[in-house]
Amino acid sequence: MPDQPAPFLRIDGVSKTFGTFQAVKDVSLTIAKGEIFALLGGSGCGKTTLLRMLAGFEEPTAGRIWLDGQDMTGVPPWERPVHMMFQSYALFPHMSVAKNIGYGLKHEKLTKDQRMARVREMLDLVQLTPFADRKPHQISGGQRQRVALARALARQPKLLLLDEPLAALDKKLREHTQFELMSIQERTGVTFIVVTHDQEEAMTLADRIAVMDKGQVKQVGAPGHVYEHPDSRFVANFLGSITQFPARVSSVATDRATVEVPAFGATVETGLIPGLAAGEALTLAIRPEKLTILREKPAGLNAIPGEIKDLAYFGKDSLYRVILPSGELISVHAVNAKREDNRPDWYDKIWLGFEPASAILLRD
Amino acid sequence: MGPQTRRHPLAEWFHRRGWSDLIIGLPYLWLLVLFLLPFVIVVAMSVATRTPTAPPFGYGGDNPVINLNGYARLLHDDLYIRAFLTSLLNAANAMILCLLIGYPMALGLTRVSKNWRNVLLMLVILPFWTSFLLRVYAWMGLMGKNSWFNGLLTSLWNWATPEGWAVTSIPMMHSNFAVVLVMVYTYLPFMILPLYSSLERLDPALDEAAMDLGTRPFGVFLDVTLPQSVPGIIAGGLLVFIPAAGELVIPTLVGDAAQPMIGRVISDEFASARDWPMASSVAVALLLIMVVPTMIYSHYQAKADTGERK
Ligand SMILES: Nc1ncnc2c1ncn2[C@@H]1O[C@H](COP(=O)(O)OP(=O)(O)OP(=O)(O)O)[C@@H](O)[C@H]1O
Ligand SMILES: [Mg+2]
């Protein structure tokens, strides 16, 4: 990513209301040229609606969209340099694969040879040359998805919108196609906005992600940042798994805070968040992989006593459910780095340790 | 669970009883008894010889047992040739007009809300609730010289054309124009319904995809909607053309007696001339004219279908 990306796409306070239902609420985003940006959120949170406003199928009820310095308000879909890959692919069933891919090119001032060359180039890009003359129902789901991608890329759009591009594929093909998408994006340099409700997919594909909930963007940032520094309980919960406990700040030092967590039956040390004051009630959240299971009470580290309630051994790693003194459960993820036989077992009394910086404090 | 899909219990019961074969067979039985058998009888009559007996035909006598006189006359007597041409022309005109009027209506039906759609579909089939004859008589009234309808068209004509062209009324009745007009009115639902059912199945996302790729709405219609509705156009076209070409009542009531359509010729040969072999020959010829193109079409359609499923 460039240091100071020029705002290639600017979404400025965009809302969309259907009747009395507000599907998208005051969304503002800027997206840089050549970026892969993922919109992540649960079903019905307004991802498709936002994408349709970018493509021009819906007009925003409020707000504006600027693309490459141009106000998109009132510009019909057929005049926007934005192409969309539909959730259902929407391939033309009466046209061959090659015709589908070349469809948008008839609006370009190209000779027949140039057009055919472009189609061939696209077929090559998505590795479908042998299927050029087939109809869409004569190829597999994954191949259809690639035709849809090639069709959307053929006119060299400034911005490509992909609505759940991989949802219809099985797990293996999906993983493979993710990397294919990324390499195609790299080669073409087109800006991608990918809609997905699969957080792993979003984190693999995207330079930055926006997590949406009920029509609002909750947080935007690089996947690693959003995962490690969620700023709301919703985002913390939505990305990966996490256990959350009510907590109260006891004291604040220059680089540490001491937080009392009733569920732990103890106070723990945490990092700081801006404006933290003693006595503030908030939520302490901790991800399973940040916890260490120990036989003996550790010195220095935050330490919580517990007992193994449940465990799942997956070979390379294990998942534990640990019951705390208060009776609440916490998940712990451990990598089985050593080949040892005395791994914690059911009903073992153990200690959980974690770094102060690993605890996430959430106000919202 | 294996790959074998389980049948619905009811279907299973029918199957065990051997009833499914019966139910599948019923339509074929229907076709056999009510279509193929009568057709065989008509073919048999068409090669008989006319006699003054009752029924008025027999085989052999002075003539060969298989008497092809009727078919020979079809080719030589230009009464029949003209009747065929009039029929095909009127039917083709009615079909094209039904398509031009029906297509926008069917497309409109797919674009309105669900509630409106049901109301409008109701209106499309509403005319079937009144007697067909009554509706034809109503048109006769409308087209007659003294009707308000004719009066309206007459004043429109007089207003739109230069001085010398003025008329006192428009001679609509007893013309091919009247026949086509009433046939279009009568058969329009047969065009709209198959068109609607083929248009309704189209995925609206395809229209959006075409627009997204730079095509304006009318181009989307030409590129996406029209090609995919071809089966509906052909089904509607056949449903209008076939009955229109054999139509008897409409040309008899509103048509030009000097240019009879083929249905009228068959009816006259049977009833007034009592020449059953001739009437049967005309009927067989009409059927062949209708059926052969339909069969060729469905042959290619089936071939295209299996080709696509490969
Ligand atoms: N044309 C419409 N009229 C009324 N409500 C609509 C319309 N389109 C979408 N909605 C509503 O807006 C909300 C957001 O829909 P949207 O399709 O954007 O969700 P999404 O995030 O794409 O969900 P999914 O992951 O299930 O595809 C939903 O509650 C939906 O019911
Ligand atoms: Mg969606």
Mean pLDDT of B118-136: 92
For B177-181, which contacts have Cβ atoms below 8 Å and span 24 or more sequence positions? B178/B139, B178/B143, B178/B254, B178/B255, B179/B90, B179/B247, B179/B250, B179/B251, B179/B254, B179/B255, B179/B256, B179/B261, B180/B90, B180/B93, B180/B94, B180/B97, B181/B139, B181/B143
B168 or A37, higher pLDDT: A37
The two beta strands, A21-32 and A208-213, are: unpaired
pLDDT at B88 over 70: yes
Record the pTM.
0.80
Report the nearest-CA residue for atom 4 of ligand 1: A18
User: Any chain A CB within 8 A of the CB of B227?
Assistant: yes
DSSP state of A86: -
Question: B4 pLDDT band (50/70/90 cuts)?
Answer: low
A265: left (phi over 0), alpha (psi -120 to 50) or beta: left
What is the tens place of the pLDDT at every residue in B253-280? 999 989 999 999 999 999 988 899 999 9
pLDDT in the model for residue A119: 95
Q: Ligand 1 — pocket residues by CB below 6 A?
A: A 18, 21, 23, 41, 43-49, 197
The DSSP symbol for B250 reads H
pLDDT in tens, A23-46: 999 999 999 999 999 999 989 999
Residue with tokens 């298989």: B66
| Measured CA distances, A196 to A29, A167, A206, A230 (Å) | 17, 8, 11, 19
- What whole-number distance in Å separates Cα of residue A281 and Cα of residue A246? 7
User: By mean pLDDT, which of A116-125, A225-234, B183-192, B301-310 is the weakest?
Assistant: B301-310
Given CB atoms, is B206 within the 8 Å cutoff of chain A?
Answer: yes
- Sign of the Cα torsion B108, B110, B112, B115 reads positive
B101-137 in b/e burial notation, b at 16+ Cβ within 10 A? ebbebbbebbeeeeeebeeeeeebeeeeeeeeeeebe
Q: Looking at residue B5, what is its pLDDT?
A: 58
Q: How much is the mean pLDDT over chain A?
A: 90
Query: If you measure CA to CA, which chain B residue comes closest to A159?
Result: B212
From A264, A251, A261, select the one nearest A362 (Cα to Cα): A261
pLDDT (average), residues B117-141: 92
Complex-level ipTM: 0.81
**Domain edges within chain B:** 77-274
Q: Whose CA is nearest to atom 31 of ligand 1?
A: A44
> B307 falls in which pLDDT band (50, 70, 90)?
low
What's the pLDDT tens digit per position in A111-170?
Answer: 999 999 999 999 988 889 999 999 999 998 889 988 998 999 898 898 999 998 887 777
The two counts, helices (H) then strands (E), for chain B are 16, 2
Confidence at A224, pLDDT banded by 50, 70, 90: very high
pLDDT band at B9 (very low <50, low <70, confident <90, very high): confident
Answer whether residue A250 shows pLDDT above 60.
yes
For residue A79, which of A22, A2, A14, A155 has the smallest C-alpha distance? Answer: A155
Please tell me the distance between residue A56's alpha carbon and the centre of ligand 1 in angstroms. Answer: 16
Residue A46's pLDDT is: 93
Cα of B251 to nearest chain A Cα, Å: 41
Alpha-helix runs per DSSP H in A71-222: 97-102, 112-125, 141-154, 171-188, 199-205
> Mind telling me how many Å the CA of B214 is from chain A's nearest CA?
4
Using the predicted structure, report yes or no on whether residue A172 has a pLDDT greater than 90.
no
Q: What is the DSSP letter of B222?
A: I
Bridge partner residues of A255 (DSSP) = none
In the sheet with A216-221, reading across from the earlier edge strand, the strands are A82-85, A159-163, A191-196, A36-41, A208-213, A216-221
Ligand 1 pocket test, candidate residues A15, A39, A49, most atoms within 8 A of CB: A49
Place of tokens 């100071």: A4
Kindly identify which residue of chain B lies nearest to residue A88, measuring between CA atoms.
B205
Spatial contact of A78 and B215, defined as CB atoms under 8 Å apart? yes
Which among A59, A64, A57 is positioned nearest to A14, based on CA atoms? A64
Reported confidence tier of residue B1, pLDDT bands at 50, 70, 90:
very low
CA distance A162 to A185: 12
Query: In 3-state terms, what secondary structure has residue B256?
Result: coil
DSSP B247: -
A243-252 vs A216-221, strand pairing mode? unpaired
CA distance A11 to chain B (A): 19
CA of A188 to the centre of ligand 2 (A): 25
**Do B211 and A92 make contact, defined as CB atoms within 8 angstroms?**
no
Mutate to test the pocket of ligand 1, among A15, A24, A27, A48 (most ligand atoms within 8 A of CB): A48
pLDDT in tens, A63-90: 999 999 899 999 999 999 999 998 889 9
Least confident of A173-187, B185-199, B204-218: A173-187
CATH superfamily of B77-274: MetI-like (1.10.3720.10)
CB contact under 8 A, B211 and A78: yes
Domains in chain A with CATH codes: 9-237 (3.40.50.300), 241-362 (2.40.50.140)
Ligand with the closest atom to the CA of A57: 1
Ligand 1 centroid – CA A17 distance (Å): 11
